[in-house]
Amino acid sequence: MSTDCKEVVRRFNIDVIQNGNEAEFRALMASNFVNHAAPKGMPNGPDGMWHTFENVLRPALSDLTVTIHDQIAEGDKVTTRKTISGTHTGTLLGVPATGKKIAIDVIDIVRVEDGKYAEHWGLNTLSTVLAELAKA
């Protein structure tokens, strides 16, 4: 089961985050999905997560790439250490485009149920990246 869960998370990272495939996103999300890492006051269901990818990250980062460094699975949970990178060519959470290459380091845990994302927890360096971009 752990190998299957890792493949679900790998597909999500490449097909959804990197490639922006909404059909794959819908296929990989449980209807009762909860994003425990959603910013305070933001929706924590599937649509909130899709919004983050399609309206925050993808418009701001051309050549967006997800590099998976490590994946560890136990039971129905997968922990992934990855980097989301790209060129800052659009406004990112209020910070105008700088043309700089950026890298957001992420560690997340996903609980997979019946081949779908059921829950997500995560930490990332986006706030640090934004602070550096704002100095530019």
pTM of the predicted model as reported, rounded to 2 decimal places: 0.93
Name residues whose C-beta falls within 8 Å of residue 101's C-beta, 6 or more positions apart in sequence.
85, 86, 87, 88
**DSSP letter (8 states) at residue 28:** H
Domain boundaries along the sequence of the chain: 2-135
Residue 42 confidence (pLDDT): 87
Token duo for residue 7: 């493949």
Per-residue pLDDT of the chain (136 residues; tens, 9 = 90+): 566 999 999 999 999 999 999 999 999 999 999 999 998 888 999 999 999 999 999 999 999 999 999 999 999 999 999 999 999 999 999 999 999 999 999 999 999 999 999 999 999 999 999 999 988 6
Question: Using CA atoms, how far apart are residues 106 and 90, in angstroms rounded to an integer?
Answer: 21
Domain 2-135 sits in CATH 3.40.50.300: no
List, for residues 62-95, the tens digit of each pLDDT value.
Answer: 999 999 999 999 999 999 999 999 999 999 999 9
Distance separating alpha carbons of residues 110 and 10, to the nearest angstrom:
11
